[in-house]
């Protein structure tokens, strides 16, 4: 990305995604279980925006960030941020690895919905022409709607990455409803045998890139949610009257709204910086440091904006029927996922030393 301003093509893409999401998947239509639009997204070619033309896509990380923002704004449960992060890692760390190349094209055509098990809690041992995996993890990123899992595993101290389908023999993928309308999952692998081409044997680079990109694209999703909270809150306080006047006439409430806007503006800049860093910065340590800064700043911003949105809505802010409380839960979930603000500030300080 040469600039912090989206190009005309990028704005066109984001505008089309927003149009489809608002017209065909409005908030009101969802009660209880949410719809899933990944099949429609694939028909519309959206996953192709997650990678550049050189590998058959039409975009890249900057486009992924714009889409993630729209998904966040529309409260979508599909983990575009995680899928986009995996595509980024497969593109940049998977050259020559058959697993990564197959994965990337399956993502772009919309057939692969990978979740990621990022902590190497699974044991891998070599077998003839492949690997045996055994173990499990209850820390899964992007579980909602996943049809496969990328599993970080450890063999003789080295990290590798295995690709398993959720319905493969020996694979358990137990899902549960999350508090924010998405899905959590627990993975168990019982002596799963995989061919060598389903595994990246030296996966440190892939896992680091996927993590950094997930932090930045998750932040983009949060920026979308924050923007929607601000729009909803501005509209609400101009509608609701108390003491015979619009709530918007009270300066204390105006300043809550202004503070939310300030947080969102800085968060949006951090996403642009994060995208630029991941695309242009050759040093892995610097990339990790900046991704940590992005997550720390945007995580906090999300909590502030979400809480202010609920406050500005008064009583209905805590009612299930109103959209703002759903965004608050998403923003809270973002803060808790992939390292909280405290963890990332600590990481930032360590990597600065």
Partner 1 sequence: MASQQREDEPEAFRKALRQLLADELPAEIAARGLQGFHPMRQDIAAWQKILARRGWGASMWPVEFGGTGWSIRRQHEFEEACFLAGAPPQHFQSLRLVAPVVYTYCAPAQRERFLPPILNGEEFWAQGFSEPGAGSDLAALRTRAVRDGSDWVINGQKLWTSDAHFCDWVILLARTNLEVKPQRGISFLAVRLDSPGVTVRPVPGIDGACSLNEVFFEDVRAPAENLLGEQDAGWGHAKFLLGHERANTAEIPRLKRGVARIKSLAARPRPGARAPLAREPSFAFRLAEVEVDLIALQSTVWRVIDEEAAGMPSDITPSVMKIRGAELLQRINLLQVESLAEHALPFYPEPDDRTGPLPGPDYAAGAMADLLYRRAATVFGGSNEIQRNLIARNLLKG
Give the binding site for partner 1 (CB under 8 A). 3-5, 230, 234, 237-238, 248, 251, 254-255, 257-259, 261-262, 265-270, 272-273, 290, 293, 296-297, 342, 345-346, 348-349, 352
The residue with tokens 């489809």 is 20
Least spacing, CB of residue 320 vs partner 1, in Å: 26
Question: In the complex with partner 1, which residue's Cβ is closer, 174 or 349?
Answer: 349
Least spacing, CB of residue 227 vs partner 1, in Å: 11
Find residue 149's DSSP bridge partners: 115, 164
What per-residue string of b and e applies to 252-274 under the rule 16 or more CB within 10 Å gives b?
ebeebbeebbebbeebbebbbbb
The residue with tokens 């061919």 is 195
DSSP state of 202: S
- The DSSP element (H or E) to which 59 belongs, if any, is none
Check if the beta carbon of residue 162 is closer than 8 Å to that of residue 130. no
Least spacing, CB of residue 334 vs partner 1, in Å: 16
The Cβ of residue 328 has, within 10 Å, a number of other Cβ atoms equal to 24
Question: In the complex with partner 1, which residue's Cβ is closer, 262 or 316?
Answer: 262
Least spacing, CB of residue 230 vs partner 1, in Å: 7
Least spacing, CB of residue 248 vs partner 1, in Å: 5
Question: In the complex with partner 1, which residue's Cβ is closer, 76 or 295?
Answer: 295
Question: In the complex with partner 1, which residue's Cβ is closer, 4 or 179?
Answer: 4
Question: In the complex with partner 1, which residue's Cβ is closer, 62 or 199?
Answer: 62
The residue with tokens 């809690």 is 121
- The DSSP element (H or E) to which 193 belongs, if any, is strand 183-195
């Amino acid at each position: 990305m040469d600039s912090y301003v989206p190009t005309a093509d990028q704005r066109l893409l984001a505008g089309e995604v927003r149009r489809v999401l608002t017209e065909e998947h409005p908030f009101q239509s969802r009660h209880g279980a949410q719809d899933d639009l990944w099949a429609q997204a694939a028909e519309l070619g959206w996953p192709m925006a997650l990678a550049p033309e050189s590998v058959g896509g039409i975009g890249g990380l900057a486009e992924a960030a714009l889409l993630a923002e729209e998904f966040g704004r529309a409260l979508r449960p599909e983990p575009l941020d995680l899928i986009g992060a995996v595509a980024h890692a497969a593109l940049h760390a998977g050259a020559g690895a058959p697993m990564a190349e197959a994965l990337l094209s399956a993502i772009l055509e919309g057939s692969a919905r990978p979740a990621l098990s990022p902590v190497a809690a699974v044991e891998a041992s070599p077998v003839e022409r492949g690997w045996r995996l055994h173990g499990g993890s209850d820390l899964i990123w992007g579980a909602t709607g996943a049809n496969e899992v990328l599993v970080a595993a450890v063999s003789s101290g080295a990290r590798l990455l295995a690709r398993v389908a959720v319905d493969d023999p020996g694979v358990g993928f137990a899902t549960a409803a999350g508090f924010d309308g998405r899905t959590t999952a627990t993975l168990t692998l019982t002596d799963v045998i995989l061919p060598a081409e389903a595994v990246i044997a030296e996966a440190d680079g892939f896992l680091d890139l996927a993590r950094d990109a997930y932090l930045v694209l998750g932040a983009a999703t949060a920026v979308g949610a924050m923007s929607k909270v601000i729009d909803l809150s501005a509209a609400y306080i101009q509608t609701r009257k108390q003491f015979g006047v619009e709530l918007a006439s009270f300066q204390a409430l105006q300043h809550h709204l202004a503070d939310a806007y300030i947080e969102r503006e800085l968060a949006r800049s951090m996403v642009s910086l994060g995208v630029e860093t991941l695309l242009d910065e050759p040093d892995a340590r610097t990339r990790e440091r900046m991704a940590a800064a992005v997550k720390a700043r945007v995580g906090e911003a999300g909590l502030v904006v979400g809480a202010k949105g609920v406050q500005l809505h008064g009583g209905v802010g805590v009612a299930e029927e109103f959209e703002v409380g759903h965004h608050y839960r998403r923003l809270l979930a973002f803060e808790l996922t992939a390292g909280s603000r405290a963890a990332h500030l600590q990481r930032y300080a360590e990597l600065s030393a």
